[in-house]
A = this chain, B = another copy of it.
Amino acid sequence: MKTCTFVTGNANKVIEVNAILGEKIAIEPRAFDLPEIQGTLEEIAIDKCRRAAKIVEGPVIVEDSALEFNAMNKLPGPYIKQFLELLGNDGLNKLLHSYTDKTAEAVCTFAFTTGPSIDPITFQGRLKGQIVSARGPPVFGWEPIFEHEGETLAEMAHEKKNGLSHRYQALLKFQEWLAAQELDI
């Protein structure tokens, strides 16, 4: 089992990915900044995966999270990181003040390639919810304002969250695909 670089600076994500893919892939986390393009979630993940594979010259996994507001035609979408930085959770709520529809989807897109000359493949997971005023510990990004079945992600027990999150849903698809492959990476 050769190693596969997972581009992230987030130790929790490494644990989550290892827990689900670890039997098939030896994950090697590496934090480096990659420019992200504007575009669809898949385009962004695929482009980032290609750039990373060129740098590491080997197999790579990248991951990208998005938050889609249905009233805003899925915006801020992939730009949620920058919107959160510039507006905060209160400002994200304000974006929806004019709309009665507060529903949203959290989206996680993984892209994987075995090397720089191979087209990356993507796996996407989604979680439905709605945007609410912040509740729960403000530890991780927009989790305090994303409510799923009565609880915000920030209020949710860690194990429960990891067993239903958009990232988990994407990782299940990734795992299922891996199980059907004879990977030689």
Contact = CB atoms under 8 A, between A and B. Distances in A.
Given A35-B37, A36-B37, A37-B35, A87 B99 contact: no
B87 A38 contact: no
Interface stretch (A72-80, A156-164, A174-182): A72-80
A86 interface: yes
Nearest to A43: B35
Interface residues on A, range: 20 to 34
Interface string A64-87: 000000001111001100110011
Contact of A72 (B43, B91, B97): B91
A36 B37 CA distance: 5
Interface string A20-62: 0000000000000001111100010001000000000000000
Tallying the copies of this chain within the complex gives: 2
Contacts of A35: 37-39, 43, 47
Contacts of A87: 72-73, 75
Contacts of A98: 94, 97-98
Nearest to A39: B35
A52 to B, nearest CB: 15
Interface of A: 35-39, 43, 47, 72-75, 78-79, 82-83, 86-87, 91, 94-95, 97-99
Given A35-B39, A75-B87, 6 more contacts: A35-B43, A38-B38, A74-B86, A79-B79, A94-B99, A97-B98
20 contacts: A35-B39, A35-B43, A37-B37, A38-B38, A38-B78, A38-B79, A38-B82, A72-B86, A72-B87, A73-B86, A73-B87, A73-B91, A74-B86, A75-B82, A75-B83, A75-B86, A79-B79, A94-B99, A95-B95, A97-B98
